[in-house]
């Protein structure tokens, strides 16, 4: 009974065992405050001590670390780890030897002023030794983990043991355990962020850092650039094409120089200029020659180079019809004589019976010869027309009335013919009129240097009557004889050129120009430049108004398709493209405008 009673009084309880843990920096004390009526609760007071890390000397750093670890780890596990470590004296001696060898090599490199190649070899050797040291440290670190690693491994090994967990753990304790689990260091098998391990020796090393290979390479490239830049570059002389006016920027670009240098030269000459200012060709030539360049002057008139082509070869020349201009005083029968030759009636078409323009006609003689006639006005107001007529002609037929003699316009026609160097044939007209005296005309011509054949001269003379058509065949024979003496030839197989005889603005047809082809062959579709105007030939018409497809030398034709009305007396030429024609006409218009502005 007593045994059963004793056993009944004893209560069975589960006592919590103390868990294994590392000695941390937190110390706990248990206090029990006393209250009235005998009540009391146990309160656990924990004090956290702050770990103080002091600087460690370079020579004793490894020894102090391992002494601290030895003092902290007193269980058999720490002892088993420390059995594989080098002694502190060996560690100290080894570290000191490495530091001294580095310092000695650095001092030797500074004192001897080694070249760049020797510096590279020194750095490579030091890096190789450092790598060996790193490899050795890695091996030692496998045997001797750091303090934090040891603590984490010990803690993990102890946690792996089956230990009863106390139910009295608070939430703060559980959070602390979670934090310690998260802060476990990585093992050596895991990848580290640093390619080289940062040791205490490296962190606290006061020795100066070595220059990297990249910095040495950069220094060499910089020295190479400086050496190349210091060399004096040879001046390149260029051929600079200078127009009549050019901007400073364009001049600098053509010389391959800086615009600032050009402006400096202008400032030395007393000119304050900007990069966009325009300078004349003389100033630009002085600047270019001063900078050592060769100057080639060009003009705006160079656009007309090759417009009328070069001289033709003798084997390409063929005989052409003569161009005859009929000149004389007003009302001496010039147009009537031409009508008698052409068997037409041009006089009735003129206002007041007076010729007011240059008419171009072509006829065929009984012998088959073709002759081109230009009829010029004889009035005093048409002096310029008579002058243009002499420039475009081969032979001048001077018509003098037998009853009137030599008059002022007759003298003017003689002077124009002499200036142009054109041979003269004297036609004494109106011999059938009462009071006509041919000898008086011959004597008056002597006063102006015209000596006819009948007076032992070399100038042909023919007495004709346009009204009765007397001796017209003799006049045509004289013209043919004179043209044979001149040996008139031209090349028909080339681009056409010639002279504008007259131009009008015709209703329904637009601008119409009468031109005389002097060389080459003019075809429909050719692009022609007539003075300051240009156009594409749309149609060609002869002196009878008939449409033709081409015009040969010494043929007068009318051209349709011109942009404007050209001036009478201007030269015309065929060009290869519209851009060339436009360029030439723009230059000529600009030149005319400048001449008009200058007065």
- Write out pLDDT tens, residues 340-361: 887 754 444 444 444 444 578 8
* Two structure tokens written together for 264: 């400096």
Residue closest to 324 by CA, chosen among 454, 514, 192, 482: 482
Output the pTM of the full model: 0.52
Kindly report the average pLDDT of the chain as a whole number.
74
Query: pLDDT class for 38, splitting at 50, 70, 90?
Result: low
Asked if the model's pLDDT at residue 4 lies above 80, the reply is: no
Residue-range domains of the chain with CATH? 58-77+113-148+202-227 (no CATH), 239-298 (1.10.10), 321-487 (3.40.50.300), 497-598 (2.40.30.10)
List, for residues 540-562, the tens digit of each pLDDT value.
Answer: 998 888 899 999 999 999 999 99
Please tell me the distance from the alpha carbon of residue 599 to that of residue 491, in angstroms, as a whole number. Answer: 40
Query: pLDDT class for 328, splitting at 50, 70, 90?
Result: confident
List, for residues 217-271, the tens digit of each pLDDT value.
Answer: 898 898 888 877 655 556 788 889 888 889 999 999 999 999 999 999 999 988 8
Rg (CA), the chain: 60
Please tell me the distance from the alpha carbon of residue 210 to that of residue 202, in angstroms, as a whole number. Answer: 13
Give the single-character DSSP code of 40.
Answer: -
Asked if the model's pLDDT at residue 471 lies above 90, the reply is: no
Please tell me the distance from the alpha carbon of residue 397 to that of residue 465, in angstroms, as a whole number. Answer: 14
State residue 94's pLDDT score.
Answer: 83
Query: pLDDT class for 307, splitting at 50, 70, 90?
Result: confident
List, for residues 140-154, the tens digit of each pLDDT value.
Answer: 544 444 443 434 444
* Two structure tokens written together for 278: 């325009």
Rounded average pLDDT over 557-572:
89
Taking residue 433's Cβ as centre, other Cβ atoms within 10 Å add up to: 14
596 vs 210, residue with greater confidence: 596
Q: Would you give the distance in Å from CA 418 to the centre of its chain?
A: 56
């Amino acid at each position: 009974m007593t045994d059963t009673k004793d056993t009944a009084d004893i209560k069975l309880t589960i006592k919590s065992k103390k868990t294994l843990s590392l000695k941390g920096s937190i110390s706990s004390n248990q206090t029990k405050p006393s209250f009235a009526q005998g009540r009391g609760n146990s309160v656990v007071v924990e004090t956290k001590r702050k770990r103080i890390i002091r600087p460690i000397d370079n020579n004793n750093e490894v020894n102090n670390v391992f002494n601290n670890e030895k003092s902290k780890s007193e269980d058999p596990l720490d002892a088993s780890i420390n059995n594989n470590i080098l002694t502190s004296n060996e560690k100290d001696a080894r570290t000191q030897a490495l530091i001294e060898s580095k310092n000695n090599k650095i001092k030797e490199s500074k004192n001897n002023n080694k070249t760049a190649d020797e510096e590279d070899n020194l750095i490579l050797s030091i890096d190789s030794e450092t790598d060996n040291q790193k490899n050795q440290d890695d091996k030692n670190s496998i045997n001797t983990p750091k303090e934090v690693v040891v603590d984490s491994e010990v803690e993990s090994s102890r946690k792996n043991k089956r230990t009863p967990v106390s139910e009295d753990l608070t939430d703060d304790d559980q959070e602390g355990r979670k934090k310690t689990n998260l802060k476990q260091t990585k093992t050596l098998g895991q990848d580290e962020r640093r390619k080289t391990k940062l040791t205490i020796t490296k962190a606290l090393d006061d020795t100066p850092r070595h220059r990297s290979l990249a910095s040495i390479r950069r220094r060499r490239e910089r020295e190479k650039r400086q050496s190349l830049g210091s060399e004096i570059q040879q001046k390149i002389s260029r051929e600079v094409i200078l127009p009549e006016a050019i901007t400073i920027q364009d001049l600098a670009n053509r010389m391959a120089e800086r615009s600032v240098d050009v402006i400096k030269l202008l400032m030395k000459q007393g000119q304050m200029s900007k990069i966009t200012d325009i300078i004349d060709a003389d100033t630009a030539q002085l600047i270019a020659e001063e900078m050592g360049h060769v100057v080639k002057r060009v003009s705006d008139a160079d656009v007309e180079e090759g417009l009328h082509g070069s001289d033709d070869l003798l084997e390409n020349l063929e005989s052409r019809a003569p161009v005859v201009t009929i000149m004389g005083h007003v009302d001496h029968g010039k147009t009537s004589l031409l009508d008698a030759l052409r068997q037409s009636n041009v006089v009735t078409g003129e206002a007041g019976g007076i010729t007011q323009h240059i008419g171009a006609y072509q006829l065929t003689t009984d012998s088959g010869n073709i002759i081109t006639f230009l009829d010029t006005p004889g009035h005093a107001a048409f002096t310029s027309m008579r002058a243009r007529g002499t420039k475009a002609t081969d032979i001048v037929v001077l018509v003098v009335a037998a009853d009137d003699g030599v008059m002022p316009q007759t003298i003017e026609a003689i002077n124009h013919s002499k200036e142009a160097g054109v041979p003269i044939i004297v036609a004494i007209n109106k011999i059938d009129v009462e009071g006509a005296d041919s000898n008086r005309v011959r004597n008056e011509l002597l006063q102006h240097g015209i000596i006819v054949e009948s007076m032992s001269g070399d100038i042909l003379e023919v007495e004709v009557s346009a009204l009765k058509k007397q001796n017209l065949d003799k006049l045509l024979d004289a013209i043919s004889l004179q043209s044979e003496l001149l040996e008139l030839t031209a090349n028909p197989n080339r681009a056409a050129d010639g002279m504008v005889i007259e131009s009008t603005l015709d209703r329904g047809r637009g601008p119409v120009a009468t031109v005389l082809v002097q060389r080459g062959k003019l075809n429909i579709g050719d692009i022609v430049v007539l003075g300051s105007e240009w156009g594409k030939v749309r149609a060609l018409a002869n002196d009878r108004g008939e449409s033709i497809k081409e015009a040969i030398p010494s043929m007068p034709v009318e051209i349709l398709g011109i942009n404007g009305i050209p001036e009478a007396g201007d030269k015309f030429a065929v060009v290869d493209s519209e851009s060339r024609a436009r360029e030439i006409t723009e230059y000529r218009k600009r030149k005319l405008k400048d001449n008009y502005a200058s007065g």
